């Protein structure tokens, strides 16, 4: 039985025909294939043609001796790694040195002990195979480290000699000559602010046996900085003194910048550039604590633009967004110029402005000499906002309503002040006033809220709720890829009520649990109905309220809605806001995984408005990210917004997630999203939310097309 493995080829180069015959007979008897050449030049030519596994090369030959032939074949492609065994009758050291200088792997002296030749050749081939495997392994490791931007190092603590991999020099932007093999040399290229942190971490690792794990900045010769993560471990000698330290260093600049971008998105409003409600609440809490120590007056203003919805409805969202940006700018400039509001510290701002959402803004006034100074700021704000706005040739005259809460009279904590300022602005709107100080007798809003709560409690049993659906479009195919279910309330008195007017009250009262369960059941039932009619409906996405996800029986409630369905046949997707998922991440991961195992797809809604750790994002059992509308509407006019959207899409795709952009209203936005490889879009460009009957008609028309 013959082996299918080809024989290894030996090229014998010798001008002595008898030597070639003996070598051939010996090597073929040992299982090798043999080719011959009778001089050095012919041997080089044969090597280039045959590419043998090993060369036996005589030293003393006419035309081109063995030294010259060895040097020549080493210059040929593939000739640098092939083992060369020099055969010579010379035994002086000069000839042996010349053989090695010419590139010989080993030498054997004549007369040759022929039985040993086969073993010598096999040994050289095995050694060469091991060398090639090692070189290939090192090359793979180097390439992997280059791709991961990961380098390794080893530091001899006693001699202060540091060995560094090639990737470390690439990260540092320096050659080995520019970065000497000493620990101090690397410390010298660190950012000055970070060096003490690293030195302390090194000392703690060496002498306190603490883990060495630190992030810091490297300053390159061109002045640019790279953020790196370094970790290592210490090896001790027999006396338990630190002898060596080895570790890795990785360039994490891009990851850190992406995390910082997402963190900034979580703290600032992308449309106006103002802080958002989370950052405002944080700053207000600090201000309340400070005011308690200094006895300064502190005021919170809640500001709403009057009749803003009419601007959106008549002139469109783009003009409405311009108005919001201009209003934010005027608000900031006005407060900056309010020089009679001063703090004891001249460099510390005495005001803080934030956008709460929609047309709502909040203002923190600190360092007031007396509470009455608030009135001066309010007058300045109202006057500034009452001046006409020129927006794309449209002169718009606006007014605003302001609610005012004073610390400590109207609250001793951030939430109380915000709540009471909000109650005051609602009262101002109801009474037609432009500003209103909070007072404890203010109960009109509370009564209306109580009345609304009573109506909502009856709405479900009277079947006044309905689901409207907004299509999603696959950008690559141009087809309907899904629909989002949105709750509407058919109030007998007011007609169709949008969710913004009642969802928050449902959540506050806990009624959202029942309404949320109804919405999931309704969506699944309508999907089954359409499917049974052969309409091939797309998957239906239902939003999950924070109150729902916090419930211990949430998973079971979803399972009950899907009862009788085969996994995936119910067509249900759930959309959950990013900030909600991060509230109790470990518990939520378990809940979401259980739901996903039922065949339900999960999307993170309003992505970018909360702060997701990239480590947790990779663990979340989700299928898609939905980019919040606030980022989509500004990306065409803002390079920063475009970068943010592009970053989120790249991040999602790198994690194998689908990306959906919501709130798409223009062809320009759709074009940009297509170029950025966004998967799906939804918004008024495609369709407003429509009743179930219209969706059914649309599906029927598509089936008949």
Task: Tell me if 398 sits within 8 A of 385, measured CB to CB.
Answer: yes
Residue 347 CB contacts under 8 Å (≥ 6 apart), including other chains: none
Categorize the per-residue pLDDT at 145 as very low, low, confident or very high, splitting at 50, 70 and 90. Answer: low
Categorize the per-residue pLDDT at 331 as very low, low, confident or very high, splitting at 50, 70 and 90. Answer: very high
Segment 500-528 mean pLDDT: 89
Q: What is the CA radius of gyration of the chain?
A: 38
Q: Where does residue 536 fall: left (phi above 0), alpha (psi -120 to 50 degrees), or beta otherwise?
A: left
CA distance linking residue 351 with residue 255, whole number of Å: 34
Summarize pLDDT for 626-669 with one digit per residue, the tens: 998 888 988 888 888 888 899 999 989 999 999 999 999 999 99
Dihedral angle over CA of 270, 273, 277, 282, nearest 10: 130
DSSP string, 134-184: HHHHHHHHHHHHHHHTEEEEEEETTTTEEEE-HHHHHHHT--TTTS-SBHH
If you average pLDDT over every residue of the chain, what do you get? 85
3-state DSSP helix/strand/coil % of the chain, to nearest 5: 45, 25, 30
Task: Provide the pLDDT for residue 191.
Answer: 93
> Is residue 446 scored above 80 in pLDDT?
no
DSSP bridge partners of 190: 218
Q: In what order do the strands lie in the sheet with 297-305?
A: 351-357, 360-368, 297-305, 400-407, 435-437
Nearest to 381 by CA among 394, 398, 406: 398
| Pairing mode, strands 351-357 and 360-368 | antiparallel
At residue 653's C-alpha, the angle toward residues 648 and 659, to 5°, is 60
Task: Tell me if 512 sits within 8 A of 506, measured CB to CB.
Answer: yes
Segment 304-333 mean pLDDT: 88
> Is residue 390 scored above 50 in pLDDT?
yes
> Is residue 63 scored above 50 in pLDDT?
yes
Task: Provide the pLDDT for residue 93.
Answer: 67
Task: Provide the pLDDT for residue 1.
Answer: 42
For 203, which DSSP code? H
DSSP string, 456-509: HHHHHHTT-EEEEEEEEEETTT-SEEEEEEEEEEEETTTEEEPGGGTHHHHHHH
Three-class SS state of 216: strand
Task: Provide the pLDDT for residue 594.
Answer: 93
Task: Provide the pLDDT for residue 146.
Answer: 66
Task: Provide the pLDDT for residue 376.
Answer: 85
Categorize the per-residue pLDDT at 566 as very low, low, confident or very high, splitting at 50, 70 and 90. Answer: low
Task: Tell me if 146 sits within 8 A of 55, measured CB to CB.
Answer: no
Measured CA to CA in angstroms, residue 651 lies from 155, 259, 367 at distances of 36, 10, 43
Three-class SS state of 79: coil
Query: Which runs of consecutive H residues, i.e. helices, occur in 493-577?
Result: 503-509, 512-532, 546-550, 554-561
Residue 454 CB contacts under 8 Å (≥ 6 apart), including other chains: none
More confident residue, 159 or 445: 159
Summarize pLDDT for 164-182 with one digit per residue, the tens: 988 899 999 999 999 999 9
Task: Provide the pLDDT for residue 126.
Answer: 87
Task: Tell me if 50 sits within 8 A of 77, measured CB to CB.
Answer: no
Chain centre distance of CA 474: 23
Three-class SS state of 542: strand
More confident residue, 601 or 367: 601
Segment 304-324 mean pLDDT: 86
Segment 340-350 mean pLDDT: 42
Percent of the chain topping pLDDT 90: 40
Task: Tell me if 524 sits within 8 A of 561, measured CB to CB.
Answer: yes
> Is residue 60 scored above 50 in pLDDT?
yes
| Burial classification of residue 355, based on how many CB atoms lie within 10 Å of its CB (0-12 exposed, 13-18 middle, 19 or more buried) | buried
Task: Provide the pLDDT for residue 342.
Answer: 38
Go through the domains of the chain in sequence order and give each one's CATH number: 9-144 (3.40.50.2300), 149-251 (3.30.450.20), 269-442 (3.30.70.270), 457-704 (3.20.20.450)
> Is residue 19 scored above 80 in pLDDT?
yes
Segment 663-686 mean pLDDT: 94
Q: In what order do the strands lie in the sheet with 150-156?
A: 161-164, 150-156, 242-251, 225-236, 212-219
Task: Provide the pLDDT for residue 345.
Answer: 40
At residue 198's C-alpha, the angle toward residues 253 and 191, to 5°, is 55
Task: Tell me if 50 sits within 8 A of 5, measured CB to CB.
Answer: no
Measured CA to CA in angstroms, residue 628 lies from 162, 266, 484, 650, 687 at distances of 49, 11, 15, 16, 17
Task: Provide the pLDDT for residue 159.
Answer: 92
Task: Provide the pLDDT for residue 417.
Answer: 93
| Pairing mode, strands 351-357 and 33-37 | unpaired
* Joined tokens for residue 201: 């971490």
């Amino acid at each position: 039985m013959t082996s299918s493995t080809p024989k290894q080829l030996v090229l014998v180069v010798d001008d002595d025909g008898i030597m070639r015959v003996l070598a051939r007979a010996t090597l073929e008897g040992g299982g090798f294939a043999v080719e011959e050449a009778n001089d050095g030049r012919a041997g080089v030519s044969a090597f280039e043609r045959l590419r043998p596994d090993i060369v036996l090369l005589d030293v003393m030959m006419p035309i081109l001796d063995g030294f010259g032939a060895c040097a020549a074949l080493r210059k040929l492609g593939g000739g640098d790694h092939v083992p060369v065994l020099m055969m010579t009758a010379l035994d002086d050291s000069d000839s042996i040195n010349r053989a090695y200088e010419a590139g010989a792997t080993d030498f054997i002296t004549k007369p040759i002990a022929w039985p040993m030749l086969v073993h010598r050749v096999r040994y050289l081939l095995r050694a060469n195979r091991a060398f090639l495997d090692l070189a290939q392994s090192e090359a793979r490791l180097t390439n992997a480290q280059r791709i991961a931007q990961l380098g390794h190092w080893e530091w001899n603590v006693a001699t202060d000699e540091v060995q560094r991999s090639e990737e470390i020099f690439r990260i540092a932007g320096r050659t080995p000559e520019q970065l000497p093999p000493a620990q101090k040399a690397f410390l010298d290229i660190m950012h000055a602010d970070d060096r003490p942190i690293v030195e302390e971490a090194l000392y703690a690792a060496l002498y306190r046996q603490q883990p060495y794990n630190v992030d810091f900045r490297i300053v390159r010769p061109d002045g640019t900085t790279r953020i790196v993560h370094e970790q290592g471990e210490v090896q001790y000698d027999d006396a338990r003194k630190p002898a060596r330290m080895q570790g890795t260093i990785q360039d994490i600049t891009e990851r850190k910048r992406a995390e910082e971008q997402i963190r900034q998105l979580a703290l600032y409003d992308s449309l106006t550039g103002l802080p958002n409600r989370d950052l405002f609440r944080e700053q207000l809490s600090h201000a309340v604590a400070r005011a308690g120590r200094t006895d300064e007056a502190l005021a919170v203003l809640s500001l709403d633009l009057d009749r803003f919805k009419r601007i959106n409805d008549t002139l469109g969202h783009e003009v409405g967004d311009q108005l919001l940006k201009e209003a934010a700018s005027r608000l900031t400039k006005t407060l900056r110029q309010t020089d009679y509001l001063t703090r004891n510290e001249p460099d510390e701002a005495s005001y803080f402005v934030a956008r709460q959402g929609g047309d709502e803004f909040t203002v923190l006034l600190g360092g007031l000499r007396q509470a009455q100074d608030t009135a001066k700021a309010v007058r300045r704000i109202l006057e500034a906002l009452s001046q006409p706005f020129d927006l794309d040739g449209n002169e718009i005259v606006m007014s605003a309503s302001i609610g005012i809460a004073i610390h400590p009279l109207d609250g001793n904590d951030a939430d109380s002040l915000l709540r009471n300022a909000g109650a005051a602005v609602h009262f101002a709107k109801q009474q037609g006033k432009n500003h209103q100080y909070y007072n404890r007798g203010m109960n009109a809003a509370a009564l209306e809220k109580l009345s609304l709560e009573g109506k909502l409690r009856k709405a479900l049993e009277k079947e006044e709720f309905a689901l409207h659906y907004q299509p999603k479009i696959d950008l690559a195919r141009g087809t309907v890829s899904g629909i989002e279910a949105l709750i509407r309330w058919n109030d007998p008195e007011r007609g169709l009520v949008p969710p913004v007017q009642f969802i928050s009250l449902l959540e506050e009262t806990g009624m959202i649990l029942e309404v949320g369960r109804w919405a999931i059941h309704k969506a699944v039932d309508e999907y089954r109905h359409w499917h049974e009619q052969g309409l091939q409906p797309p998957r239906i996405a239902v939003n999950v309220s924070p109150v729902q996800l916090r419930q211990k029986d949430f998973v079971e409630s979803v399972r009950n809605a899907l009862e009788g369905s085969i996994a995936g046949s119910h067509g249900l997707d759930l959309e959950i806001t990013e900030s909600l998922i991060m509230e109790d991440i470990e518990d939520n991961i378990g809940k979401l995984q259980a739901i996903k195992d039922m065949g339900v797809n999960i999307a993170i809604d309003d992505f970018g408005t909360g702060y997701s750790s990239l480590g947790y994002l990779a663990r979340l059992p989700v299928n898609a990210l939905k980019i919040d509308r606030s980022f989509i509407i500004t990306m065409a006019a803002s390079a920063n917004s475009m970068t943010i959207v592009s970053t989120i899409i790249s991040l999602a795709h790198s994690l194998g997630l689908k990306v959906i952009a919501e709130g798409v209203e223009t062809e320009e936005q759709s074009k940009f999203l297509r170029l950025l490889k966004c998967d799906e879009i939804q918004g008024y460009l495609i369709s407003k939310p429509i009743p179930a009957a219209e969706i059914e008609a649309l599906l029927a028309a598509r089936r008949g097309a």
